[in-house]
Amino acid sequence: MDLELKGKVALVTGAGQGVGREVCKVLAAEGVKVAVNDLFQEKAERVAKEIKEAGGIAIGVQADVTNLDQVKAMAAKVLKELGPVDILVNNAGVPWEIRTGQVKRGVFVESEPTLWKKQIDLNMHGCLNCVHSVLASMIERKEGKILSVMSEAGRTGEANLAVYSGAKAGILGFTKALAKEVGRYAINVNCIAIGATAHEGTKPNLDPDAKPETDANLARILKVYPIGKGLGRIGRPYDAAYAIAFLASPKACFITGQCLSVSGGFTMVS
């Protein structure tokens, strides 16, 4: 299916690996000019190089999405080098402990208030900063797609990740409210909710090559992923990337204010 995306400009945040990297590659394959953002310039450049070597158009753009000035500078660079952003994919955002390498989780009552702010800044304010930096241009041109990647933790809550879950839930409320504000300008605002997703950055806890027959951890996780049991796997970055590509396309022009669950049946909300 031709998604009619050729020539569009996309900015994808947190795209140095995993879901963001795959989103960039899938969009580039559809003819989209892609700005690959990451906190680390070398990671952004590496993904941009992959895309260019495959025949696509891409640039790497470093910015900390929690810093509004950096985000505005990033948007200005994308405008100068690729053109105005047609598609914004807010992908940056993980539990703060993972970002810093401190993977230990803890109950809320034992958490530190200083870490609450870091969690909310990264997972909520980062989204707000990026949207605010490109939205005026979309309104002026009366077109645009804003897509935010959230976690199923934001819909169901995740024990030992209370602040992270709350920040991700905020993205859902923001998406719905913004969709009501900007629908008159033909701008679509949606989000996708993902569950456990294995990629190069989740090893060894979630190994993309693991098989449930030989990996007890994967077998345990699959108990709450209905389709995962049949497929013998948890989520992969391409599952999210293909959904995002569709929602970013004119084929999805009548879909807005929605949250598409791409998590193998982990949640089923009527």
H or E element, residue 150: strand 144-151
Assigned fold of 9-197+236-262: Rossmann fold (3.40.50)
**CB contact at 8 A, 65 and 13:** yes
pLDDT at 95: 60
pLDDT at 103: 46
pLDDT at 96: 47
What confidence tens digit (pLDDT) does each residue in 164-200 have?
899 999 999 999 999 999 999 999 999 999 988 888 7
What confidence tens digit (pLDDT) does each residue in 219-258 have?
888 888 899 889 999 899 999 999 999 999 999 999 999 9
Residue 121 carries which DSSP code?
I
pLDDT at 54: 98
Comparing CA positions, the residue from 65, 48, 66, 46 lying closest to residue 57 is 48
pLDDT at 118: 87
What confidence tens digit (pLDDT) does each residue in 134-153 have?
999 999 999 999 999 998 88
Neighbours of 163 (CB within 10 A): 19
Each domain of the chain, given as residue ranges in start order, spans: 9-197+236-262, 203-234
pLDDT at 99: 44
Residue 225 catalytic? no
pLDDT at 14: 95
Sign of CA dihedral 239, 262, 149, 122: negative
